[in-house]
Every structure is written in structure tokens, then in C-alpha cells.
């Protein structure tokens, strides 16, 4: 009798399992896994936000400008505290890899960066810029909004990720991460109301292999020649302010001389002898 009950119970269980299996929904032949759908939605959301941001920046005018000139005052910081009274500067940029900075009221200290070379020009002459400074400029250039939005986004291997919302510079932002083919990632905080970029962040490793985080905060936007331009720029390193710039003038597509970003070394600071030069 016990064997008969056991057989009946087993038969009932098998029948119930078959019924449940038959009633379960059958996946469509070309159905996309939930994880892939989520990833696709994230990329689409990120792309939409980036397109809105580019439009807010000026659309075609921002994407196509060739040269950019700035004038203002910059301040350096140490451990988050200002360590100077500020210095006047004039900055000239030509997309994609040329930059010139003239410092002081007399504009007598000039730094020129052309491709992977850097130069320092003073009353003594022109010499190579410090290697650390040149590498810093090249790194910043590679992570500039111009390079990221004009070049990274064109590459089909670039990945876009929507990270959700957070607060940056006391403003609610949508966070989008952009990962290029070299696994270099840059994260942008986009104002939920104006759609303008508020923050930009990326990491790199120094000579000692320590991970360093650089962040740029953009503020005080003004429209110049149809382009939304931040007149306040704050740089942070590992969470501490490292520099600030305040503009009082900006201009796009300024005509510059063909040799404006050209320079060549004509003196060695280690062997420089002003007395010998006067002879």
C-alpha cells in the first residue's frame, strides 16, 4: 500500500511539473537578454544626454570652431588653499594640439605647446619646457571636451554609460561616462536643466604608479559668438582645488599668424651667462 501511495505521489508531482513547464512563457527566438537590454538603454540615454549637451554648448558652432582666445587671471593652490595673488594670462588654442600661454602684465613669460613638444620663452630666450609640464598639457589636451566630443564619440568602439544623477558644484547633474578603445574613461556631469557640462573627471597613474584623479568644474557660462563659454574654471586633484581661472574676455575663430605656435630652443638655462651674451 505504501508503495502504491509513493508511486501516485510521484506521478502527481511529475504531472504538475509538466503543467507548469507548459504554461511558462517561451522566449522569442530573437529575444535580447535583460542585461543586454539594460546596457543598450544606458548607452541610448547617455547618447541622448551628450547630444543635448553639445546643442547647449552651441551645436555646430562649438563642434567646428578652430581657434580660441582667452584673457583673465589664474590662481594656484596648495593643499586646497591659494598660494598666490593670481597672475594675468592670455591663452590661445588651436584645435587639436596647439596652445600658447602668455603670463604677467608684460606678457613676458610665454609657454608654447605644439603637438608633443613644449617651450618656455623669457627675456633670456627660448628653452624646452619642463618635461612634467609638457606631459601635463598633453594629458589635459587628450581629455579635453573638444577631443572627447569631436574624436572619441566618432569611434564605434567607444562605450557610453549612463551613471544616474548626483550633485556637482551644488547642482543636480546627469552623469555620463565615456570609455574609449584604449580603456581611457572620462566622466561628465551634465546640468539637468541647462544641459551644460558642469564637471569633467578622469584618472591616470603618476611615475610611482599611484592613481591620480583630475576634475574640472565649469561655471559662470556666457554666450560668446553663439557658443556657451565657462568664464570660471576650477581644477581639482584628488578632491583638492589645484587651480582656478576667471575670464574677462573670450573669442573664437581668431585669425592667428602661421608661426604663432612655432618655437625653437636657442639657449640652455644650465649654461646661460648673461655677461657673455652682452659681449
- Where are the chain's structural domains? 34-262
Residue 83's pLDDT is 85
User: pLDDT tens digits, residue range 31-59?
Assistant: 333 334 466 799 999 999 999 999 999 99
Query: Percent of the chain scored above 90 by pLDDT?
Result: 76
Are 102 and 127 in contact by the 8 Å Cβ rule? The answer is no
| Assigned CATH topology for domain 34-262 | outer membrane lipoprotein receptor (LolB), chain A (2.50.20)
What number is the average pLDDT over the span 91-100?
97
**Position 205 confidence tier, pLDDT thresholds 50, 70, 90:** very high
CA distances from 63 to 34, 118, 149, 255 (A): 36, 26, 8, 18
Q: What is the largest CA-CA distance in the chain?
A: 124
pLDDT at residue 24 tops 50? no
DSSP 154: G
User: pLDDT tens digits, residue range 222-275?
Assistant: 999 999 999 999 999 999 999 999 999 999 999 999 999 999 999 888 776 666
pTM for the structure as a whole:
0.82
146: exposed, middle or buried (Cβ count in 10 Å: 0-12, 13-18, 19+): middle
Amino acid at each position: 500500500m505504501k508503495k502504491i501511495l509513493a508511486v501516485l505521489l510521484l506521478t502527481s508531482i511529475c504531472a504538475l511539473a509538466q503543467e507548469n513547464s507548459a504554461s511558462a512563457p517561451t522566449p522569442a527566438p530573437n529575444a535580447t537578454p535583460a542585461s543586454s537590454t539594460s546596457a543598450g538603454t544606458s548607452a541610448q540615454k547617455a547618447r541622448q544626454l551628450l547630444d543635448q549637451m553639445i546643442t547647449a554648448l552651441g551645436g555646430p558652432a562649438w563642434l567646428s570652431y578652430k581657434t580660441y582666445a582667452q584673457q583673465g587671471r589664474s590662481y594656484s593652490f596648495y593643499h586646497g588653499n591659494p598660494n598666490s595673488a593670481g597672475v594675468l594670462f592670455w591663452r590661445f588654442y588651436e584645435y587639436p594640439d596647439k596652445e600658447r600661454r602668455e603670463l604677467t602684465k608684460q606678457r613676458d613669460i610665454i609657454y608654447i605647446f605644439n603637438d608633443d613638444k613644449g617651450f618656455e620663452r623669457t627675456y633670456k630666450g627660448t628653452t624646452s619646457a619642463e618635461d612634467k609640464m609638457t606631459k601635463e598639457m598633453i594629458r589635459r589636451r587628450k581629455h579635453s571636451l573638444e577631443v572627447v566630443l569631436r574624436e572619441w564619440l566618432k569611434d564605434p568602439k567607444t562605450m557610453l554609460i549612463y551613471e544616474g544623477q548626483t550633485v556637482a558644484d551644488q547642482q543636480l547633474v546627469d552623469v555620463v561616462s565615456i570609455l574609449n578603445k584604449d580603456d581611457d574613461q572620462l566622466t561628465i556631469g551634465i546640468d539637468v536643466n541647462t544641459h551644460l557640462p558642469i564637471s569633467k573627471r578622469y584618472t591616470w597613474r603618476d611615475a610611482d604608479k599611484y592613481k591620480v584623479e583630475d576634475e574640472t568644474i565649469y561655471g559662470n557660462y556666457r554666450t560668446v559668438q553663439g557658443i556657451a563659454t565657462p568664464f570660471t574654471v576650477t581644477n581639482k586633484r584628488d578632491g583638492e582645488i589645484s587651480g582656478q581661472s576667471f575670464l574677462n574676455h573670450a573669442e573664437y575663430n581668431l585669425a592667428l599668424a602661421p608661426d604663432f605656435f612655432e618655437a625653437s630652443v636657442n639657449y640652455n638655462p644650465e649654461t646661460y651667462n648673461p655677461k657673455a651674451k652682452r659681449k
